[in-house]
Amino acid sequence: MRVLVAEDDDRIAETLTTSLERAGFRVERERDGEVAWYRGDSETYDVIILDLGLPQMDGLTVLKRWRSAGRLTPVLILTARGQWEERVDGIEAGADDYVVKPFHVQEIVARLRALVRRANGLATSRVQFGKYLLDLRIMEVSADGMPMELTPQEFKLVSYLVHRRGQVISQLEITEHIYNQDYERDSNAVEVLVARVRKRLGADVIKTRRGFGYALGDGY
Amino acid sequence: MRVLVAEDDDRIAETLTTSLERAGFRVERERDGEVAWYRGDSETYDVIILDLGLPQMDGLTVLKRWRSAGRLTPVLILTARGQWEERVDGIEAGADDYVVKPFHVQEIVARLRALVRRANGLATSRVQFGKYLLDLRIMEVSADGMPMELTPQEFKLVSYLVHRRGQVISQLEITEHIYNQDYERDSNAVEVLVARVRKRLGADVIKTRRGFGYALGDGY
DNA sequence: CCCCTCTTGTCAGCGTTTTGTCAGCAAGAG
DNA sequence: CTCTTGCTGACAAAACGCTGACAAGAGGGG
């Protein structure tokens, strides 16, 4: 889960960052509206948190530009208490949800999860794949009610593959989505991780497309 | 991946060149706006890096000319810090992304990759050619649902030919687009590759135009 | 505070597949 | 017929991904 936090207040941004990272998101932060705009335009995030009062280019403009360029990444906006017109404007500009400052971080996390789910077209936070059930809320994969005891990193990998079911995903893409930016070019961490997941869920859960990447196995 | 770097500052150009080459791009460099325009107009690059302050003809003009001539090659522009209007102008002139100088080279590389992905992916992820279906999402060519098991290099060749369907493509062009910079001028690697694809998909999928190059066969 | 456990990245070694090279051959053009 | 261009099969090198072992770091319990 890759999330962009566009927020100029350092304290807020840091609170968000730590909580989101703890919740398993990969956070990138931007304090300038214009820069935030082009990152949201050129990169693929799973969800974006957007403060409306940004320097350089205000959040509403940023959002409108994304939408008019066809970017459908779910956006959650942050507004100050009492500024209800802002919220209305935001929703009309294409925001998917909003949270009022000051906020509870858990609330943000919950809303983000909901947004991502909705965007993926998954009705619930629980997804069935093959004989397994992936539950995003409790971060668990189970089979017939029996939990599978995945480690956090393994869980991230499975979530991402399930999320992009039906596609082949390169090692680079996996690295970018489940690791923080410090990725070494020649590391076989992903391969090892895949092996570990296979050892737990069965070898055919993840299939290898040599030279291309990985995908969920047939029937998953 | 073929990239044109239009930049008059030697130091910047060299930094870019080495990093891009290390990242697997095939780099061509031009320091003069007018020449850059001509090359971008007559050659086919996968992506172009364009400095706006070029001698002879400024970058914005170059870009506008390409766009009005229908060249859709993704362009990333380089602007100086603080030149906010430049960026807006650039985007409106048809740039796909921009980076502010001074920049981190890794950032450029990441952006280029994103651009190329977007440009290739946005076109269409599934294309029918003859009895075959090319699916970029799962990196597979299939006939009646039966996957054809192409190797990565074979797949790249087919993708490129399909992408430029109806045109005759020289061996040099193929080399430039599907190999990294290290191509030996006297190598028959492309011929061998063509032979391998023919062995898999049938001899008439690719036809030879002796002395000129290759093209997709009639009916494909 | 120490010790134990769990997680995770790194590494070296291995088997397999992929790919470039080469030499000889076939075929088209003149 | 000759010359040039492209094709083919064999081979070897390189790339790719898998595995088991190891060690550093995080976290928990005593």
Boundary residue ending a domain (B76, B93, B119):
B119
Residue contact B87–A42, C-beta within 8 A: no
pLDDT band at A77 (very low <50, low <70, confident <90, very high): confident
Amino acid at site A104:
H
Whether A55 contacts chain B with CB within 8 A = no
On whether the CB atoms of residues B46 and B72 are closer than 8 A, the answer is no
Boundary residue ending a domain (B119, B154, B187):
B119
Please state the rounded mean pLDDT for residues B151-177: 90
pLDDT of residue B32: 92
In terms of DSSP bridges, do strands B213-216 and B132-135 run parallel, antiparallel, or are they unpaired? Answer: unpaired
Q: Is B162 helix (H, G, I), strand (E, B) or coil?
A: helix
User: Residue A197: CB partners within 8 Å, gap ≥ 6?
Assistant: A150, A154, A157, A158, A205, A206
B115 and B133 housed in the same domain: no
pLDDT of residue B82: 59
Residue B169: both structure tokens together = 């493509």
On whether the CB atoms of residues A51 and A8 are closer than 8 A, the answer is yes
A6 and A109 housed in the same domain: yes
pLDDT of residue A123: 42
Please state the rounded mean pLDDT for residues B37-43: 89
How confident is the prediction for chain A on average, in pLDDT?
83
- Please determine, for residue A68, whether its predicted confidence score (pLDDT) is greater than 80: no
Please state the rounded mean pLDDT for residues B104-133: 71
What sign does the dihedral B60-B65-B68-B71 (CA atoms) show? Answer: negative
Residue A109's H or E segment, with its range, is helix A105-119
Closest nt to residue A155, judged CA to C1': C7
pLDDT tens-digit map of B195-217: 999 999 999 999 999 999 999 99
Task: For an interface test with B, give the residue of A66, A163, A168, A186 to mutate (most B CBs within 10 A).
Answer: A168
A77 and A10 housed in the same domain: yes
B135 and B98 housed in the same domain: no
pLDDT of residue A40: 87
B12 and B71 housed in the same domain: yes
pLDDT of residue B69: 77
B49 closest CA partner among B8, B79, B17, B4: B4
Please state the rounded mean pLDDT for residues B94-104: 73
Boundary residue ending a domain (A84, A103, A119):
A119
CATH number of the structural domain spanning residue B190:
1.10.10.10
B193 and B98 housed in the same domain: no
Whether A215 contacts chain B with CB within 8 A = yes
- Please determine, for residue B88, whether its predicted confidence score (pLDDT) is greater than 70: no
Q: How far is B210 from chain A (nearest CA, A)?
A: 31
Phi-psi region of B48 (alpha: psi -120 to 50; beta: other; left: phi over 0): beta
Phi, psi of A69, deg, nearest 5: -90, 0
Whether A212 contacts chain B with CB within 8 A = yes
On whether the CB atoms of residues B96 and B63 are closer than 8 A, the answer is no
Distance CA B113, CA A25 (A): 22
User: Residue B153: CB partners within 8 Å, gap ≥ 6?
Assistant: B178, B193
| Strand C: positions under 7 A of a protein C-beta atom | 6-12, 17-23, 28-29
A132 and A100 housed in the same domain: no
- Please determine, for residue B122, whether its predicted confidence score (pLDDT) is greater than 50: no
Please state the length of chain A.
220
Residue A100: both structure tokens together = 């009022």
pLDDT of residue A104: 75
Lowest mean pLDDT among A96-110, A157-171, A186-200, B151-165: A96-110
Question: What is the number of alpha carbons within 13 Å of residue A178 lying toward its C-beta?
Answer: 22
CATH number of the structural domain spanning residue A110:
3.40.50.2300
Angstrom distance, B177 CA to D12 C1': 26
With contacts defined as CB-CB under 8 Å, which chain A residues touch B155?
212
pLDDT tens-digit map of A107-165: 788 778 877 766 665 445 678 888 998 887 788 899 988 888 899 999 999 988 987 88
On whether the CB atoms of residues A17 and A23 are closer than 8 A, the answer is no
pLDDT of residue A88: 62
Amino acid at site B115:
L
With contacts defined as CB-CB under 8 Å, which chain A residues touch B96?
42
Angstrom distance, B186 CA to D1 C1': 27
pLDDT tens-digit map of A45-55: 889 999 988 88
- Please determine, for residue B164, whether its predicted confidence score (pLDDT) is greater than 90: no
Q: Is B54 helix (H, G, I), strand (E, B) or coil?
A: coil
pLDDT of residue B184: 66
Q: What angle do CA B56, B57, B61 make, to 5 degrees?
A: 175
pLDDT of residue A45: 87
A33 and A63 housed in the same domain: yes
Angstrom distance, A153 CA to C18 C1': 31
Longest distance between any two alpha carbons in chain B, whole Å: 57
Provide the number of structural domains found in chain A.
2
List the 148-207 stretch of B: residues with Cβ below 8 A of A.
Answer: 151-152, 155
A77 and A171 housed in the same domain: no
* Burial class (CB within 10 angstroms; exposed 0-12, middle 13-18, buried 19+) of B21: middle
Q: How far is A32 from chain B (nearest CA, A)?
A: 12
B103 and B135 housed in the same domain: no
Distance CA B179, CA B2 (A): 9
Residue contact A212–B152, C-beta within 8 A: yes
pTM: 0.63
With contacts defined as CB-CB under 8 Å, which chain A residues touch B178?
none
A26 and A108 housed in the same domain: yes
A6 and A112 housed in the same domain: yes
Q: Please give the span between the terminal C-alpha atoms of chain B, in angstroms, as a whole number.
A: 25
Q: How far is B97 from chain A (nearest CA, A)?
A: 7
pLDDT band at A210 (very low <50, low <70, confident <90, very high): very high
Domain around B34: 2-119
Angstrom distance, A207 CA to C15 C1': 18
How confident is the prediction for chain B on average, in pLDDT?
84
A196 contact to strand D (CB, 7 A limit):
no
Please state the rounded mean pLDDT for residues B176-189: 78
With contacts defined as CB-CB under 8 Å, which chain B residues touch A212?
139, 152, 155
A75 closest CA partner among A111, A34, A35, A100: A111
